Amino acid sequence: MKTCMKIGVFTFLLFLANGVLWAGDISGGVTATKTTLNTYVADTLARAEDVNENFAQVRNAVNDNDTRLDSLASNAAIKDGTVQTNLNADMLDGLHEASFFNLNQAETVSGIPAFNGGTSGSTAPFSVDSTTAVTNLNADLLDGVHESSFFQLGQSEAVTGIPAFNGGTSGSTAPFSVDSTTAVTNLNADMLDGNNATAFAAANHTHSTLPLAMGTIDTNGSIIKAWNVSSCTWNATNSRYEIAITGYSYTLWYEATMVTVIGAGNYSVGIDAMSSKLLVIISDDAGKPVQKRFAFITWDIP
């Protein structure tokens, strides 16, 4: 065994062989005794044995922990880089469970997630299986159309298209309602109270002192003598005379008409209008429509 040691400022190189110790004087003639050196060597060896014992304990502890890790079954830690099934960790990358979105919970997302999974214009970034409206959801598009393309009920929108109001039943209910009595500038209606423009007189129209038409009609509906009368027929189905005035649409609203039955007897006369014609109905005392000769005259009311 070869041992190098320092005593103060003196250095000795010791050789221990077959129990014989040789000391060489290197620093100037100082010689250590065999007893002193043996004691020092024994102490050094004892310390070395203590170090070896401690090292053995550390090694045994490491081996024991290694054995314990190898003995763990499904709950073992990730020892060799392989993910272990059912591992229940307290944190993931330093974050607790509360920091993550739990798919089975009604979580509140305080961040602004980006859903980039779909292909723009082709596939949706996520799917929804509920048809319930999402309160306060403010979408940028509705069926791919921006808000500016829709008629907003609370705004004074300018409609450039031609909307069709088909909500009502024709001849029965209105397609929409209006609660304002203010006239709509430039509104061009097809009818007024169900009447076409031909049923009304223009504001600048003039009236002649001459009657619109007059004439004497025979029992069978033929014209005996007339002025401005284009035709007259007896309608046997409806038991009435139908008189057409030349160049005029008879309405019954804007005309004054007189009919006189020619001949003896008590008769009543009724007048009406249909398809721009003057209708004359003559009835006897029993109220039965009859055919009688009559004369008529009608004026346009100014």
Pair of tokens at residue 112: 């602004």
Q: What is the pLDDT of residue 23?
A: 43
* Sequence-ordered alpha helix ranges (H) in the chain: 34-71
Element (H, E) at 257: strand 255-261
Q: What is the largest CA-CA distance in the chain?
A: 186
Q: What is the pLDDT of residue 295?
A: 98
Q: What is the pLDDT of residue 296?
A: 98
| 287 vs 269: CA distance, rounded Å | 10
DSSP for 132-159? S--TT---S-BTTB-GGGS--TTS----
51 alpha carbon, distance to own chain's centre:
78
| 281 vs 38: CA distance, rounded Å | 160
| 121 vs 147: CA distance, rounded Å | 18
Q: Give the position of tokens 């073992």.
A: 76
Q: What is the pLDDT of residue 279?
A: 97
28 alpha carbon, distance to own chain's centre:
104
279, 242 contact by CB (below 8 A): yes
- Where does 106-254 show beta strands of DSSP type E? 213-217, 223-227, 229-235, 240-245
Q: What is the pLDDT of residue 239?
A: 96
- Distances from the Cα of 201 to the Cα of 46, 129, 188, 191, 205, angstroms: 137, 63, 17, 14, 7
254, 201 contact by CB (below 8 A): yes
Q: Give the position of tokens 């779909």.
A: 118
pLDDT per 10-residue tile (average), the chain, 302 residues: 41 40 43 61 68 68 65 52 75 82 80 82 85 85 82 82 85 87 89 83 72 96 96 97 96 94 94 96 95 96 81
| 226 vs 243: CA distance, rounded Å | 11
Q: What is the pLDDT of residue 1?
A: 42
Q: What is the pLDDT of residue 48?
A: 64
The residue ranges of every structural domain in the chain are: 2-58, 213-300
Backbone angles phi and psi of 225, in degrees to 5? -160, 135
Report the 3 state secondary structure along 93-114: CCECHHHCCCCCCCCCCCCCCC
User: What is this structure's pTM?
Assistant: 0.35
Q: What is the pLDDT of residue 44?
A: 67
| 204 vs 211: CA distance, rounded Å | 19
Pair of tokens at residue 170: 């024709």
Strands 277-283 and 268-274: antiparallel
209 CB-side CA count, 13 A: 0
Q: What is the pLDDT of residue 21?
A: 42
Q: What is the pLDDT of residue 106?
A: 79
| 252-275: b (≥16 Cβ within 10 Å) or e | eebbebebebeeeeebebebebee
